[in-house]
Structure 1
Amino acid sequence: MKNTKNTYHPIRVIFHIIVFLGLFILEQLPLSILTLTKKQLGTKYSAYQNYAPIATIVLLIIAASIIIFVFKRAQKFSTQKFTKSTWMIVGLGTILTLLINVATVPFMRSTNDNVEALKLIANNSMVILIIFTIFVAPILEEILFRGIFMNWFFVDRPFLSILISGLLFGYVHAPFAADTDWIYALSKILLGIVLAGVYYRTKNIKADITVHFLNNLLAILGGAIMSGVILF
């Protein structure tokens, strides 16, 4: 028997793909402003350091507003309230992300393109990088890769939606190529799958945002401890 719950409209799918790609580029733009170096800018570098953070914040506000606006119209169901069950799923998701990191981090390369880009941003504005990593990224990435993607694509096939959301999340963090750090890519794919599962089970975007926030916070704290920044 043919599933009629959601009618397949090729033009709508193509439109959603184009808009999704546009929103992804928009989400990436703010931090890209902070990836220039003194070698590239020469004498203009001092002025760049003064104005680039301001431009980043302004563009980030614009990007976030647009992405949130689209999400509110994309979600096809009413957001469920946080309950005891929701918190249990959040707790389980956080434990799973911690286990993924413990199992994969020791086998990752010391650096990759994503890490190098973050280092460039840190050189220009460590404050913005920390704020983005802990607070902004969990919100915008979850809204984009879970809240919008899972409401636009494979709506009637939740397993496929969760899997592809995870694969896409892994790909944008570690584009698949001959020199890809596949352990790093795998960790991001598994993280994306867990976050997609949390969103699907809770029907509340704030739940997977919470798990993503805790994952990033624990990663930063773990990195600080390992590098000796925090001493006990």
Structure 2
Amino acid sequence: MNKSKNTYHPIKVILLIITFLFLFLMEQLPLSILTLTKKELGANYSSYISYAPLLTLILLAISTIILIFVFKHAQKFPTQKFTKGTWMIVVIATVLTMVINFATVPFMRSSNENVDALKLVANNNMVILILFTIFVAPILEEILFRGILMNWFFVDRPFLAILLSGIVFGYVHAPFSANTDWIYALSKILLGVVLAGVYYRTKNIKADITVHFLNNILAILGGTIISGAVLL
């Protein structure tokens, strides 16, 4: 992504990895607050359901501000303007995400940890889930997995940066284990690669945010928000 050579001291790399993990956990925390159930909380559920959404929104705002701040200092090149070429890449990438979804969804399991978590959030607050899915997730995830990760790691090796972005994106949606739905994981890896490719080619984080947004809004319009199969 940047033709200038970058050298990293091992300690700096370790610090970047630790910081990235912290940012990831920070980005995940707000929505995870809404995954508790009435069975787990018992009599406390009514009070929980009254304050948890507000706390979630406050933490989402804080996470957004911090991630944008880090991204602005992480990006190693000037943001390019949106052009007709940019929109062409967005359209092509959106079509690719649809192809990946149509090719993989029929072979996925009916449920997995990510889908189950989305269902819990939906049970507690459908409005916040839709808000997060349409607007927040495309922004925060693209800033984190493309804008920050690709500017911190393998900057001089774009192919590796794109591949790493896709693999990490796939892993956080479907952690690799003996029980992993590998078709689901593969779909997320491929989608992550497409989004990373958009960021690399356009040099504008808004381009891959747009693709991410279109993927999710098309999933919602298609009635798949609860299944979560094609949501990013």
1:21-68 deviations in Å (ceiling 9; x for gaps): 000000000001001000111111111111000000001111111111
Say if 2:105 and 2:184, in contact at 8 Å, map to a contact too.
yes
Change (3 A) 1:226 1:63: closer
Instruction: Please give the root-mean-square deviation of Cα atoms over the aligned residues, in Å.
Output: 1.6
Give the paired residue count. 225
State the match for 1:62 in structure 2.
Answer: 62
Change (3 A) 1:35 1:199: same
State the match for 2:43 in structure 1.
Answer: 43
Code of the residue aligned with 1:14 in structure 2: it is I
Change (3 A) 1:31 1:164: same
SS in 2 for 1:186: helix
State the match for 1:120 in structure 2.
Answer: 120
State the match for 2:84 in structure 1.
Answer: 84
- Mind listing any 5+ residue stretches in structure 1 that lack a counterpart? 228-232
Offset at 1:219? 1.2
User: Normalising by the residue count of structure 2, what TM-score does the alignment of the two structures yield?
Assistant: 0.94
State the match for 2:5 in structure 1.
Answer: 5
State the match for 2:230 in structure 1.
Answer: none
State the match for 1:230 in structure 2.
Answer: none
Say if 2:118 and 2:226, in contact at 8 Å, map to a contact too.
no
Code of the residue aligned with 1:51 in structure 2: it is Y
- Mind listing any 5+ residue stretches in structure 2 that lack a counterpart? 228-232
The more displaced of 214-223 and 98-107 is: 214-223
State the match for 1:195 in structure 2.
Answer: 195
Change (3 A) 1:218 1:43: same
User: Normalising by the residue count of structure 1, what TM-score does the alignment of the two structures yield?
Assistant: 0.94
Offset at 1:223? 2.5
Offset at 1:7? 1.7
Code of the residue aligned with 2:48 in structure 1: it is Y
Structure 1 runs, 4 residues or longer, greater than 4 Å off = 224-227
